[in-house]
Structures are given as C-alpha cells and as structure tokens.
C-alpha cells in the first residue's frame, strides 16, 4: 500500500479562501531551485543588530505565535545584503506542520523542513509605520530560517517555555529581553528574491532573504509548537498545525544567491 503524504491536506480557513491573489506576479512561498539561482557578487553580507531589550511580548494571533518588538526607533535593525538601507525588526513568527515531514513554507529543490522562522522588518526610510510598509513595493524584508530536527536549541527553549501561556488565540504573555540573533545560523549564505506576505493581505511588498543553512531543534520543541491552538478559549479546540501557505508560481522571477 503506497501512502502518499500530502502537505497540509486540510488547509487552515485562512488560506482556503486566499489560495491565490488575482493578478499576483510575485507571490510567496516558492520552491528555490538551487541550480537555477544566480550568484550575485554584488550582494553584501547581511548585517544584523538586534537590541534584546526591544522585545515586548508573545501572542497567539490565531495562525501562529508571534513575538513583537518595539519598533519606535532604529534599535533592532538589519542592513547590507540586498538592501539599500536599514530595516527595523517588527516581529517574528513561525510556520510548521502536524508532523516532521512538512511544515516550512519555502522549499529548496523540493525539500521541505518541519518548520520555518520568519523575522519581519519594515523600511522606516520610505514608510512611517509597519502597517504602511506592508502596502509599499519594498516595504518589508522577511528573513526566513529553516528548522530541522536535531539537537536541542537552547535559545529557542526560552520561547518554547512561554508557549503554554499563549495556547489559545488572542492570548498574550510578557516576554522581555530576548535576542532573536540566537535563532540565526552561523553560516552567512542566503538566497534572496522579490515576493509577498504568505498570510493575508498577501501584499507583494517583501524582499525575502532565505538562509541556506537550517538551525536544529529537537522533537520536544517541535511538539510544543503543535500544542498551540488556532481557537480561542471556550471554542472547540483546533490544534495549530499546518499553518503554511502552499507553493506559489515563480513566474518571471530570478532567485539570487550570496554564495557560489
């Protein structure tokens, strides 16, 4: 008997209606075909300067858990890489599967990972707020980091220990002094391409920077993600799993690499 594993066979309502944006030409996520990516020698190393004291709280927004940062000043910023100026960190969140065989949004040569971290930044030079930047052509930069099953991740564990406090949708817990740099792989290599949010409003405002090397997390840490709920307290419980959007067509785009 051949068991065919289909990724995310029961899509969250969020994406059932939003599977495609009419007229979208740069939607995300995509499958990164390593051999089709083009090395760009002009790409600089990505510079990351996060101030741990800008971390504010964690909340369950009904499709992921999200860690929010104080973005009222240039305290936690990224620059360099493919970027023309600095971008401010606003939040980070994850996408994951019900089992380890799927969960990430992007793929590399059709390889899928159990989860994917998104660090979301906005352009304070061209926008006055995150909400405005979402609608701007190059308003956002999202760094994507793949999570693979392996060793325990000590830095992630501080996050994981807080998850029971945000089990239900629209719950929140204070979370101060956390440096998300600890979630970044040491390898500097990345791909970059022009894309979109993978959750509504799916706006085509994102410069994606996808790190080549995954970070390792252990089984217990992934299981803690899967204990979260899409649903509010008092509602019939729906486990928060498979909160990833299906692959989108590459169309007329080139993925650039920072490495040969």
Q: Using the rule CB under 5 A, is 12 a contact of Zn ion?
A: no
Is there a cis peptide before residue 112, judged by omega within 30 degrees of 0? no
First to last CA, the chain: 42
120 binds, among ligand TH0, Zn ion, none (CB under 5 to 8 A by kind): ligand TH0
Contact window for Zn ion (CB under 5 A) among 111-119, 124-132, 147-155, 243-251: 111-119
The angle formed by the CA atoms of residues 56, 61 and 98, to the nearest 5 degrees, is 115
Spatial neighbors of 67 by CB under 8 A, at least 6 apart, are: 55, 57, 58, 91, 92, 93, 159, 175, 178, 180
Q: CB 118 → Zn ion: shortest distance, Å? A: 4
Q: How far is the CB of 42 from ligand TH0 (least distance, A)?
A: 26
Is the distance from CB of 244 to CB of 96 less than 8 angstroms? Answer: yes
Q: Going residue by residue from 83 to 112, which x/- string records binding to ligand TH0, judged by CB under 6 A?
A: ----------x-------------------
Cis peptide leading into residue 201 (ω within 30°): yes
The verdict on 199 binding ligand TH0 (CB under 6 A) reads yes
Cβ proximity to Zn ion, 66 vs 76, nearer residue? 66
The item of ligand TH0, Zn ion, none sharing an interface with residue 229, based on CB under 5 to 8 Å by kind, is none
Q: Is 245 in the site for Zn ion (CB under 5 A)?
A: no
CB under 8 Å to 16, separation ≥6 — which residues? none
Whole-angstrom CA distances from 217 to 30, 140, 242 are 23, 27, 18
Residues 130-149 that bind ligand TH0 (CB under 6 A): 142
Does residue number 197 form part of the binding site for ligand TH0 (CB under 6 A)?
A: yes
For the CB of residue 118, give the shortest distance to ligand TH0 in the complex, in Å.
5
- Please tell me whether residue 118 binds Zn ion under the rule CB under 5 A: yes
Q: Of these, 12, 26, 118, 212, which contacts ligand TH0 (CB under 6 A)? A: 118
Site of interaction with Zn ion (CB under 5 A): 118
Site of interaction with ligand TH0 (CB under 6 A): 93, 118, 120, 142, 197-199
């Amino acid at each position: 008997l051949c068991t065919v594993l289909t990724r995310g066979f029961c899509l969250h309502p969020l994406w059932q209606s939003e599977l495609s944006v009419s007229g979208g030409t740069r939607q995300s996520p995509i499958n990164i075909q390593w051999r089709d990516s083009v090395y760009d020698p002009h790409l600089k190393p990505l510079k990351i300067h996060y101030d741990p004291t800008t971390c504010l709280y964690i909340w369950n927004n009904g499709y992921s858990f999200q860690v929010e940062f104080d973005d009222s000043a240039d305290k936690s910023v990224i620059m360099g890489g493919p970027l023309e100026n600095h971008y401010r960190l606003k939040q980070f969140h994850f996408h994951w599967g019900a089992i380890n065989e799927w969960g990430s949004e992007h793929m590399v040569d059709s390889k899928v990972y159990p989860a994917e971290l998104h660090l979301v930044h906005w352009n304070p030079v061209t926008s006055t707020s995150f909400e405005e930047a979402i609608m701007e052509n190059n308003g956002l930069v999202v760094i994507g980091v793949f999570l693979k099953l392996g060793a325990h991740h000590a830095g992630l564990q501080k996050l994981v220990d807080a998850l029971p406090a945000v089990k239900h949708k629209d719950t929140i817990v204070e979370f101060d002094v956390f440096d998300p740099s600890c979630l970044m792989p040491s390898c500097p290599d990345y791909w970059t391409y022009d894309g979109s949010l993978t959750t509504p409003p799916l706006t085509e405002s994102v410069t994606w920077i996808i790190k080549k090397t995954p970070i390792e997390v252990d089984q217990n840490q992934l299981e803690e993600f899967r204990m979260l709920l899409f649903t509010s307290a008092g509602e019939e419980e729906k486990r928060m799993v498979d909160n990833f959007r299906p692959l989108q067509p590459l169309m007329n785009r080139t993925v650039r690499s920072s490495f040969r």
